[in-house]
Amino acid sequence: MSQTVYHFGGNADHSDPRQKDKTITGGKGANLAEMASIGLPVPPGFTITTEECLRYLDLGGDFPEDVRNAVAKGVAHVEQTVGKTLGDAADPLLVSVRSGAAVSMPGMMDTVLNLGLNDETVQGLAKTSGDARFAWDSYRRFIQMYSDVVLGIDHGLFEEALEIMREDNGFYSDTEMEAQHWEALTREYLKIVENEQDKPFPQDVDAQLWGAIRAVFDSWDSERAKIYRRLNDIPHDLGTAVNVQAMVFGNMGDSSATGVAFTRDPSTGENVFYGEWLVNAQGEDVVAGIRTPQYLTRARREEAGADKPSMEEAMPDAYGELARVFDLLEKHYKDMQDIEFTVQQGQLFLLQTRTGKRTAKAALKMAVDMVEEGLIDEKTAILRIDPMALDQLLHPTLDPDAPRDVLTSGLPASPGAASGKIALDADTAEQWANRGDAVILVRVETSPEDIHGMHAAKGILTARGGMTSHAAVVARGMGRPCVSGASGVSIDRQERTLRIGSAELAEGDVITLDGGNGQVMRGQVPTIEPELAGDFARVMEWADKARRMGVRTNAETPEDCKAARSFGAEGIGLCRTEHMFFDADRIMAVREMILAEREDGRRAALAKLLPEQRSDFEAIFEEMAGLPCTIRLLDPPLHEFLPSGDGDFAELAEATGMDTKRLKRRVAELHEFNPMLGHRGCRLGITYPEIYEMQARAIFEAVCAVQKKTGEAPLPEVMIPLVATKRELEILRALVNRVAEKVFEEQGTRVEYLVGTMIELPRAALMAGEIAEEARFFSFGTNDLTQTTLGLSRDDAGRFLNTYVDRGIFARDPFVSLDIDGVGQLVEIAAERGRETRGDIKLGICGEHGGDPASIAFCEKVGLDYVSASPFRVPIARLAAAQAALKA
């Protein structure tokens, strides 16, 4: 059976490779063993493995005898190394009990310090340390922390008692309190515990230890830990290790201190020491903001104009040793380190090192600098940067120093920040934007008809919907900040007012959105524009050298195309032509076409749309000259274009000459109970071929025009959506070819083009070999393929998907990251069968998954030719594709 507890420090054996495997002993445990093995000053301790956490949770919160025996041996190792005994009334050993998962989750799981103190051992600690103040301070800290973490008692009760003690004695700071004050406060804390749980604070140190171990394991399944894992794509089945370590004390007077430090600046990436420290304090004083920390270095202190001395000035010897350790650790781990340290009576101890979290800007600078310093190579630099972190650089962000009046929070659905006037419908948003106003579109939820308002708005706020709702998907594609599912928003459409949190606002009032954290703020908060040169460009250059797959963009406007090209897109992987139809100038002609009961009526309406559609394509093709452009013919069900309100019906009646009653009857005839699986996609082209004829003509006329104008044509790839059978594609491919030949004859020129299909139905994936006889390319529409394979509605599943992820039914939201086992298997089958039929078939992916690093890695494994992502995700896809190629 595998070892369940590993010792570190002292004379411990660190040779077992499992001990330095973060999946077994967690990041903290593995690094403590590593630091101890290279001779750094690490207090001794032991680590209970992540495997035992999972076993404990499976057993319903129980510990087998073998684990209890192994923990007893671990305690004996610490006692022997330190020369003290846990629970010894005369000279007690005190320990800390901390979490430590394989992936760092700062602040998400529990910690207990000073464990081993009770009414007897506190007296022994006072005697052996010669400092009663320190002993009682440590005991009161332990009671508060243990009561909060293990016993579940509100820590506010203890904070209130401390505040009363300070006020009663006229103290401004904790440092003014003497031993008698801490002793009196400790006795007050003990009373609070007894009042809250009807029994005294536990005095048995063995019971204290097992209570703390239990609490740390339980914290893996805490709500905050689950949310953090979900937001950071950390698997739920890793578990956390528990690290039990001899205490060292930063609160033993003015020769003692505690601090947190980084070997480089985690915000900017500069190669300077960065951190904070406190004299006569314990670790939670720094991280919890109980006291205002001091700067680590003199340079930082002077830069900030602070009075209190830096560690460099106040403790030069300890600081010098810390600087030596910084250098050693960074060279050892070859990455920026985040270090927790304690100075006990002048002696430095290291409590933790881990790879430091950093901003995207800092990550890029560190990667480039470390390559230049010879610390790492280009491959390591590429693999080290989290592609998703680049999102921070691709959108405006709020000035971190600006004040914020936060009204409510929702889901951070699309990153970036924006301020503007509240507009409660898409038309108003567009009108105000056209007159030069910055607008935030606020809706209960968005629909495809809101597309013009979404495009006009600087940001989007919805009261309903999830991370993959319509608003979220479209906003990400447009690069608009979006906060969705903000339940604190209620809208009164009649009065044109709304409540956000407790604030009453009206249309036209200014708010600010932070799409990075989901906050909604009153008024305008200044933003900072992204800078994409320098380190960013250098890393992208390395990534492009390393990747195999192409990276295209999903785009429908010249503005989108321009942005995508600036981000390095190599063509269009998906142009959704229906978005062009929602324009206010065209929607009436679209509705006339849909409501016409005969072909001649439809053709008359389509003739009005042809020049508009051709103009759209020309603008796009000019931006993409020389590059492949996949144009999807009309896909959504026709009812999405139809009116719903009486005002819309009246306007349409006037435009068409049909009476309102007849129009409503016609709309009712077109109603579908399940439109996603109804009369849409290629089915429209089969039943109303004139629609696809008009679109094909617009495409080919636009290509010929751009070729004549610029001398360089794009490669149009005409994509037939929702194909389930070879025959559907055969009919529509013939239609496209027929129109192309006619246009080429009229224009006196020819251009190369391809006809292919979107694989978004399970049957199409399974019959891909047959369909490939007619298709020159497959584009995997994984949004709909996920819906049709899993039987989930993307717009409705947000209500329960988080529960499914938390319960381990899905590893991740399948609309965010591809379901590789199920949907991925269909993609693999289709790719394999398509290539068997047509060896040179072009294969790509154009769903939202085209911008997801895990999904991109799968595309590399399957051998797809390209991925396509929204413009603002193109750099993410470039870096993720490079990482996938390097790992292949």
Catalytic residues: 470, 846
- Residues near 836 by beta carbon (within 8 Å), at least 6 away in sequence: 769
Closest CA to 882 of 860, 850, 849: 860
CB atoms within 10 A of CB 355: 15
- Chain centroid to Cα 3, Å, comes to 35
Residue pair 524/512 in contact (Cβ under 8 Å)? The answer is yes
Opening angle at CA 741, ends 738 and 744, nearest 5: 150
How far from 270 is each of 77, 80, 263, 300, 369, CA to CA, in Å?
41, 43, 10, 13, 9
Six token digits for residue 176 = 């003014």
d(C-alpha 718, C-alpha 699), whole Å: 9
Residue pair 845/780 in contact (Cβ under 8 Å)? The answer is yes
- Residues near 68 by beta carbon (within 8 Å), at least 6 away in sequence: none
d(C-alpha 677, C-alpha 673), whole Å: 9
Q: How many distinct helices (H) and strands (E) make up the chain?
A: 36, 33
Residue pair 483/443 in contact (Cβ under 8 Å)? The answer is no
d(C-alpha 428, C-alpha 587), whole Å: 17
d(C-alpha 71, C-alpha 63), whole Å: 11
Beta bridge partners of 101: 240
Residue pair 103/238 in contact (Cβ under 8 Å)? The answer is yes
Beta bridge partners of 459: 440
Residue pair 179/133 in contact (Cβ under 8 Å)? The answer is yes
Q: What is the identity of the amino acid at 441?
A: L
Q: What is the identity of the amino acid at 501?
A: G
Residue pair 189/158 in contact (Cβ under 8 Å)? The answer is yes
Beta-sheet pairing, 754-759 with 777-780: parallel
Q: What is the identity of the amino acid at 113?
A: L
Beta-sheet pairing, 503-506 with 497-500: antiparallel
